Every structure is written in C-alpha cells, then in structure tokens.
Structure 1
C-alpha cells in the first residue's frame, strides 16, 4: 500500500497570488504535474489547511485538481480539516472528507471525522481544528469515538490522518506551541492498537517521530515550506511545493519519501518573522 500525502495547499478564493506573492493554486498544479509518473498509489490523503480562508471556491478548486489527478491513479482521495479551514464550507464541498465512508462521527460541533477501508487498510481521518486558533486539539467525544473504532482490528491495520502534529522540534520557534495540545490523550487511545502510522501536516516541513511507538509523519506544505536554518527565535518561509509518499508494506515499512517540485524560484524567501514578531504571535495564540 502506497499513500500520496499532501497538506497545506492554502488555496485562495480566487486563482491569484496571496499576500506574500505566492499563487497557491499554481503551487498545487506544479506539485501534481511533478508527480505525474507515480504509479501503484492506493490512496491520496490531504491533511488540512486546504483553503486559506475557508472559502467554498477554494475547496472546490482543490477537489477538482486533486480529484482529476487521483482518478488517473485510480485512487480515492481523503481530506481532513486544518486550522485555516471552516467546517461548514468544508462539508458543503467535501462532505465527511471521504468518498464512501463506512462510519462518520456524529458530534454537536460537526467535527469532520470518518472511517473508510482501502484494500483491507482502515483509514481514519480526525478533526483537530480549534476554531480561531493555530494549535489543535482532539476533543473527548472524538477520542472516545476513535477508541471504539480501534476496538476491532482491521485486516491490514489502521492509518490515522489529521492536521496538527502530536510531536514537535524545540529548535522551531513555533512548533512547540502550534501542534496538538493533547498528544498524551491520543497516545492512550492508540496504545496497543493496530495503528501503523499517523499522518499530519501544519508545520510546512518534513518531520518524523513516535507516539506510543507509532511512527508520526509530518509532510511539508504544498504552498511553501519553513526553513529551520533561520536564526533561533525567528521563522522563515521559503518557496517550494512538496509532498510525500508513504510506503506501508515491505520488510522496512513504513517508509517515507519527500518530493520537491522543480520550481525555478524555489528557496526564495516568502516571509520572515523576527524574534519579537514570533514572540507576540505565540503569546497571542497560546
């Protein structure tokens, strides 16, 4: 089983450059064009921040672009929410995030979480969105639902996908504050289960770690990436669309590979935040 993992497309309401001068739609088109030679992909997973401002038009554009690409692969597409997403607009275009879910979470908050089975592999998408905040959280209702889902093992195990990583790097000025707020509670639910890997996004860079001995993969963003060679306490974003291939089977699985689009303007600075700007941003969101 191979999974193509995309995240953080950040499409705008219209096909125009964003406030940083990056056209997110062009970044997605370029990344998909670079991936045209991929074969034997069983699923495409997009882990949130699909629309930059929650616009229906942005969800429609991503659905159409990624959907057309995935149809050529013969692979279903699964979507999760991110902190930039808006649940009602997401639902209008993408529904539960699954084309044919076998189970959908019913909650008062209308969280977008669902379960599907692909070739014996169970794929569970969760909703870590906290409206108005950059950090994420999985609420008690959702975790209890997930515990029930995992109580019965799947034929080929389970993949979890959501936006906010339950791991972080201390050398990043923002990751320790902007990830999943309750990784320990999630860890208790997946401990001893058949979860094979956790797929996330949000940080706009690749990162791998463990949660209860389960590999956690953070795929870099499609719209841009974060460059951690910036001075301590600052943050720099640079041009460059990226995606990941997750290889689950084989003696060495799971394995993770990162693709970078051949952009002639790759590595150009998109924005920089100084220490005071980062500190103010973190304090406001904490």
Structure 2
C-alpha cells in the first residue's frame, strides 16, 4: 500500500464530516479604521486573513472562540471595527475579554452576544463567565482580567463558579478558556504580567474534574504547552504579531512579524485533539505521489 493510501485511509477513519471543530482565535488587537497598531502593524488585515482561513476549513468550524485582547484600547470604534471583521463567519462566535479590553464597551458593542451578559450574582457581574455546548464538547469561559491592569487574577468567587459549573456535567469533554495562562512560560517580561493570583487554587479545581481536556489561553502570542492541574494548558499564537521567543530572565519586551496563527480543537475518537494553523499563502495542497 502506498504512503498516499495509508495517509488517506487514516484521515477517513479518524475525521468524519460531523467532526466537532472549535477554532480559537486570540489577541487580534484590532484598532480603529485607518490606524495601525503601534503605527506599524495592520492588525485588521491580519484578522481578515485569519477569518478567511477559518472559512476555508474542511470540515467547517463548528464554532469560534476569541480568547481576549480583542481590541487594543477598549474603545467603541475598535469594537465596531471588530464586529465588521467577524461578520463573514457563519458559525457561532463567542467572545471573552483580555487585559486590553473593556467589558463595559464589549457589552455595549455586542448586545446580541448573550455570552457577554452579566451573571446573576453581584460578586460575579463584573466578569465575563459563560458556558456553551459545542456538539459533544463543553466550553467554559473563565475571566482572568483585573480591570485597569495588564496582569491577571482569579478570585475565590470565580473559582467557586468554575467548580460548580464543572460539577454539572462531569462526563462531558470540557475545555476551559482563559486569557492569562495559569503557568510561568520562561518569557520574563510576559510572566511579569501573567496570572498572579489563583493559579494554585485553579489547579486544585481542575484536579477534581478530570473531564477537562484543555485549558486554552491567549495573552502570550506564542504556542506554549504545559501540564497543569491534571490536564493540558496551552497558549495560542496571535492572529497579529508574535512575542519574541527569548527565555532569558532579562530579555527585553519585543515582537516579531512571524506568521499569525490560531488553533483548532477537534473531537476525534471521543477526545480533544488540538491542531495549530498558520495564516498565510503557502501554495496549494499537493498530493503525495
């Protein structure tokens, strides 16, 4: 049997037309029309390319989640621009904030996005916390934002909410989405604005709920994976610029125009398999001879 036959046979056996594909886009840092991020990076054009890439996926995306830093300054004109850029997506699109976002402005800009509505609990109402079902997968958004700060935190109220929410469906494969990753990465300047409080308590919650297949995060603008709380925690490339891979403790804050990217979290064989995708033109697909 040829390599091509083996490859094709594996694909047909593992991925069916009804495969659940959750796409994760993160950190697009959209600016107002006519502007560039830091006067250098065309983040709207880059997000438009990522959206076109998602639209071309086969099988099609079941849903898309954006894990924070949706815009750069939290302004209404930026969110209006983001809304237009996301319009070509025909599947459900769910939003959550990062440290560059304004929850109040997000809620005003996306009134039809029920996931942004406050939880009916005074202690939790400032945060964006939600649960969605994705054709055999459960997705939980856990807000890590500290208003007005770059770093993240998890208070006892949010952690208790997560614990209760996970306890409702203990058998269903689940993904927990956050903006700030709950672990140090070795990139010093980013770790300084990472999740400063609540990571140990979060690990304890996750260990009590083994159905959690992934903790998916943004913020780092790089693909990074670590074992955490009995599951796999990971960050995903930005649809815009990437943070320079520099593991020196005193490495300076820097970015590079590496290819933008995103992640696909697919249910394959009853479990979650994560794929990385780059955005850009790399020529047509070519069959193995």
User: Is the 8 Å Cα contact of residues 204 and 226 (structure 1) preserved in structure 2?
Assistant: yes
- Judged with a 3 Å threshold, the aligned counterparts in structure 2 of structure 1 residues 180 and 59 are, in CA distance, closer, same or farther, namely same
Q: Which residue of 2 aligns with 1:34?
A: 53
Q: Which residue number in structure 2 is paired with residue 166 of structure 1?
A: 182
Residue in 2 that maps onto 1:270: none
Alpha-carbon distance between aligned partners in 1 of 2:120 and 2:242, rounded to the nearest angstrom: 32
Question: How much has 1:105 moved relative to structure 2?
Answer: 5.6
Q: Is the CA contact (8 Å cut-off) linking 1:227 and 1:238 kept in structure 2? A: yes
Gaps of 5+ in 1: 265-286
Q: Does 1:156 align with 2:172?
A: yes
Q: Give the alignment partner of residue 94 of structure 1, picking from 110, 115, 118.
A: 110
Aligned with residue 210 of structure 1, among 209, 227, 240: 227
Contact 1:120 1:154 in 2 (8 A): no
Corresponding position: 1:195 with 2:212: yes
The partner residue of 2:279 within 246, 261, 269 is 261
TM-score normalised to the size of structure 1? 0.81
In structure 1, distance between residues paired with 2:113 and 2:237 = 20
Query: Over aligned residue pairs, what C-alpha RMSD do you find?
Result: 2.5
Instruction: Indicate yes or no: 2:85 matched with 1:65.
Output: yes
Unaligned segments of structure 2, at least 5 residues? 1-19, 283-289
Pairwise CA distance, 1:80: 0.9
Corresponding position of 1:223: 240
Q: How does 1:66-81 map to 2 (within 5 A)?
A: 66-69=86-89, 71=90, 75-81=91-97
Distance 1:8 1:206 in 2: 13
The structural deviation recorded for 1:37 is 2.0
Give yes or no for contact 2:95–2:116 (8 Å, CA) kept in 1. no
Q: CA deviation at 1:113?
A: 0.9
- Residue 25 of structure 1 is matched in structure 2 by 44
Question: SS at the partner of 1:89?
Answer: helix
Q: Does residue 1:242 correspond to 2:261, yes or no?
A: yes
TM-score, normalized by length of structure 2? 0.80
**Contact (CA 8 Å) 2:99, 2:148: kept in 1 or not?**
yes
Provide the rounded CA distance (Å) in 1 between the counterparts of 2:83 and 2:170.
28
Name which of 21, 27, 31 aligns with 1:12. Answer: 31
Q: Please give the alpha-carbon distance, in whole angstroms, between the structure 2 residues aligned to 1:162 and 1:105.
A: 20
Number of residues paired by the alignment?
257
Of structures 1 and 2, the larger Rg is shown by 2
User: Deviation string for 1:122-145 (max 9, x for gaps)?
Assistant: 211121111222110122211111
